[in-house]
Amino acid sequence: MRSLKFIVYLTTLAVVAYTLMTQMGVIFPILFFSLLTCQALLLYMVYRILTDNYQTQRTFEDWYEDKDVRTKKV
């Protein structure tokens, strides 16, 4: 099964490629097909992210990983 990271990267690459094609003057049928493909990939990516069975032990009291805001340093 493909990972979520792969799907996010694939969708991002497709959207960037579509954006570049719009600026390069690619013919309309290819642009239209690319638009439909990007929209389908985006919907699939959102569906996969929202239905992922991700579990964590962290709570809102844990705040952020990068900085402990509970201790004040002067």
pLDDT along the chain (74 residues), means of 10: 85 96 94 97 95 80 64 59
| Residue that the structure tokens 């792969």 belong to | 6
What distance, in Å, lies between the first and last C-alpha atoms of the chain? Answer: 49
The model's pTM is: 0.71
pLDDT at 59: 74
Distance CA 36, CA 10 (A): 15
Locate the domains of the chain by residue range: 4-52
pLDDT at 54: 81
pLDDT at 64: 65
Residue pair 62/21 in contact (Cβ under 8 Å)? The answer is no
